[in-house]
Amino acid sequence: MFHQIKKLFKRKNRNSKTIDPDEIFLDSKNLPDFNTDQFEGRMERPISRLSLKFLGIFVLFVGVVFISKLWNLQIVQGQVFRMRGENNSLHKSIIYADRGVIYDRNKLPIVWNDINSKSLDFSLRVYATSTGLSTVLGYLKYPTKDSSGIYYQDKFDPKDGLEKVLNDQISGKNGTKIIETDVKGNVVSESVIDPPIPGNNIELSIDLKLQKELNKSLLDVADRAGYRGGAGVIMDVRTGEILASSNFPEYDSQIMTDGSSSSKINSWINDKNHPFLNRVVDGLYTPGSIMKIFVAMGVLDQGVISPEKQILSTGSISVPNPFFPDKPSIFLDWKAHGLVDLRHALAVSSNVYFYEVTGGYQSQKGIGIANIEKYTRMFGFGTTTGITFPGENTGTIPDPEWKKENFNGEDWRVGDTYNTAIGQYGFQVSPLQAVRAVGALANGGKLLTPTFVKDRAPKISSMVNLNPDFFRIVKEGMRLGVTEGTSQAINFPFVAVASKTGTAQLGVSKDEVNSWVVGFWPLDDPKYAYAIVMERGSKNNQFGAVLVMQEFFDWLHVYDSEYLQ
């Protein structure tokens, strides 16, 4: 029976591959021999037809989307993109950095940026008006582009003043961006590569309140007396910081920067009173009698006269003329002062006293022209102050060599010494030199380098190493000038001021004068020095530079009295 079944099985599978039983049946006895973690011993199942259909549909969908996109780019919009590729252009463009804001010492803005001008490629500059600071602040020119919109001047160009001096600090760093434009110049896209870095803000030593009031007083006195120009400066004698610096006439920084009025700009350019001149820093003036306080220091140091010894001023002295005995040379005082010692000679500004103690007269010995030059140079005249500002001049101290060069080799005479001693002849000084010298007298001999920047470490350029008693005597003479001399207009109960006036005659006819006043306050603990010059006024007017300080001190007493302490 078994034999027949076997024959039948072989007959049915004659054309089939023989299958071993272990390929058909899984017996539980052989399972431990499989590594089930590697899927050994498991049955493989075919992928279902439904899954294959979904995969086919997905591949077909992706293909359709790809082909339609390709059709759109190459057939439908092909011409558009071809023109864009041919006509659009990429170029780098500057992102202009804002310039730093310039503040006064109390963080009040003096120069800032117009935040409403962002429709332009850069912010416009705004200047505080009616301050008398234009020649200090200066002006600039904006970046400029041609008719096609390309910048051929791609930087802010500072032209004058602190805008130029401080440019490295306040200019910032421009950024860049890539701009794509079409054939018509329209911006298609843009991308920032480097963002701009704004410039540093700067705090000046200027006190804007003091500045405005000094300028107002200067203009008021000029208007009342008909002066053609003027300048005033106030300096901290402990640090060299300039608290106020006013000039007139002057241009307007805003108009010069904006170029908003060609008629005004042309009028300034053609004005014979030089509105572009910073009179405080680089204006040079005949100083007149303010030089007597520095000459007095030399007189004391040379010991040619006791400070208590009196000299009689009858209104003039007469020097014999060896060539024309009947025509002596007359040297005038501005009035007969009677007997005066050194302190009172300073107070009333006696010319005769200083003629005799410098050039000598009869039995009175003088210090001579070489010593006049020595001591005035000791206080910083005849050289620059060291301020970081363009255009500063050294000025002139007359001496025999200077006369030979300027007067066809003429010899020096005693009369030249007399005139030099009272700040006339060829003497030329700036208001900044004058305030610095007075500051050195006030602080005991420290000749400071002036600065327009707040909190800069004080820099002592040199020391006036003279007897402290000499400083005291000259200060006492300047105080007498306020209490009973030529500066009585600033004799106040609320502050003790030391002062010296000066009047310098100008021209051949001497019908015009420069009016000066210099000084410091408070007397016992000096903190601030000032120098004011009113330029080319009538010799007959009664309104001198001292009235500028009178108005200023009256305002200070009411509105900012802490400066009087």
- Please check whether residues 478 and 550 belong to one and the same domain: yes
- Please check whether residues 144 and 212 belong to one and the same domain: no
Predicted confidence (pLDDT) per residue in 385-442, tens digit? 999 888 899 999 999 999 999 999 999 999 999 999 999 999 999 999 999 999 999 9
Tell me whether residue 366 is in a domain: yes
Average pLDDT over residues 208-215: 97
Asked if the model's pLDDT at residue 369 lies above 70, the reply is yes
Tell me, what DSSP letter sits at residue 315? Answer: S
Q: How confident is the model at residue 20 (pLDDT cuts 50, 70, 90)?
A: low
**Domain-terminating residue out of 203, 234, 253:** 203
Average pLDDT over residues 458-478: 97
Query: Cβ–Cβ contacts within 10 Å for residue 465, how many?
Result: 7
pLDDT of residue 47: 67
235 contacts 436 by C-beta, under 8 angstroms: yes
Show the tokens assigned to 129.
């008006």
Residue 519 and residue 527: Cα distance in Å, rounded?
11
Show the tokens assigned to 176.
């860049």
Predicted confidence (pLDDT) per residue in 308-324, tens digit? 999 999 999 999 887 77
Asked if the model's pLDDT at residue 333 lies above 70, the reply is yes
Amino acid at 296: A
Show the tokens assigned to 540.
């007959």
Show the tokens assigned to 462.
């040199």
Asked if the model's pLDDT at residue 11 lies above 60, the reply is no
Tell me whether residue 84 is in a domain: no
Q: What Å distances lie between residue 135 and 242, 278, 560, 563, CA to CA?
A: 14, 5, 25, 25
- Please check whether residues 181 and 220 belong to one and the same domain: no
Strands 229-236 and 528-538: antiparallel
Average pLDDT over residues 541-556: 93
Domain that holds residue 177: 91-203
**Domain-terminating residue out of 203, 219, 252:** 203
Q: What DSSP line would sit under 476-527, residue for residue?
A: HHHHHHHHTSTTGGG--SS---EEEEEEEEETTT--EEEEEEEEEE-SSS--
Average pLDDT over residues 42-60: 70
- Model pTM score: 0.82
Residue 323 and residue 86: Cα distance in Å, rounded?
96
Predicted confidence (pLDDT) per residue in 444-459, tens digit? 999 999 999 998 889 9
Q: What is the tally of structural domains in the chain?
A: 2
Predicted confidence (pLDDT) per residue in 168-179, tens digit? 999 999 898 887
Q: How confident is the model at residue 41 (pLDDT cuts 50, 70, 90)?
A: low
Query: If DSSP codes are grouped into helix, strand and coil, which group holds residue 541?
Result: coil
Average pLDDT over residues 320-346: 91
Q: How confident is the model at residue 140 (pLDDT cuts 50, 70, 90)?
A: very high
- Please check whether residues 265 and 127 belong to one and the same domain: no
- Please check whether residues 144 and 257 belong to one and the same domain: no
- Please check whether residues 237 and 345 belong to one and the same domain: yes
Tell me whether residue 9 is in a domain: no
Tell me, what DSSP letter sits at residue 363? Answer: T
- Please check whether residues 168 and 238 belong to one and the same domain: no
Asked if the model's pLDDT at residue 533 lies above 60, the reply is yes
Asked if the model's pLDDT at residue 67 lies above 90, the reply is no
- Please check whether residues 133 and 232 belong to one and the same domain: no
pLDDT of residue 247: 95
Tell me whether residue 86 is in a domain: no
Burial class, 91, CB count within 10 angstroms (exposed 0-12 / middle 13-18 / buried 19+): exposed
Tell me whether residue 439 is in a domain: yes
Asked whether the bond before 522 is cis by omega within 30 degrees of 0, the reply is yes
Predicted confidence (pLDDT) per residue in 241-267, tens digit? 999 999 999 999 999 999 989 999 999
Residue burial 517-556, b: 16+ Cβ < 10 Å; e: rest: bbbbbbbeebbbbbbbbbbbbeeeeebbbbbbbbbbbebb
**Domain-terminating residue out of 165, 188, 203:** 203
- Please check whether residues 194 and 314 belong to one and the same domain: no
- Please check whether residues 258 and 169 belong to one and the same domain: no
- Please check whether residues 177 and 217 belong to one and the same domain: no
Percent of the chain at pLDDT > 70 equals 85
Asked if the model's pLDDT at residue 56 lies above 80, the reply is no
Radius of gyration of the chain, Cα coordinates, nearest whole angstrom: 44
Tell me whether residue 36 is in a domain: no
Tell me whether residue 192 is in a domain: yes
pLDDT of residue 53: 76
Question: How many residues would you count in the chain?
Answer: 565
Asked if the model's pLDDT at residue 292 lies above 90, the reply is yes
**What is the CA 110 to chain-centroid distance, rounded?**
11
Task: State which H helix or E strand residue 246 sits in.
Answer: strand 242-248
- Computed over every residue of the chain, the mean pLDDT equals 87
pLDDT of residue 324: 79
Provide the CATH number for the domain around residue 134: 3.90.1310.10
- Please check whether residues 158 and 212 belong to one and the same domain: no
pLDDT of residue 12: 47
Tell me whether residue 46 is in a domain: no
Provide the CATH number for the domain around residue 391: 3.40.710.10
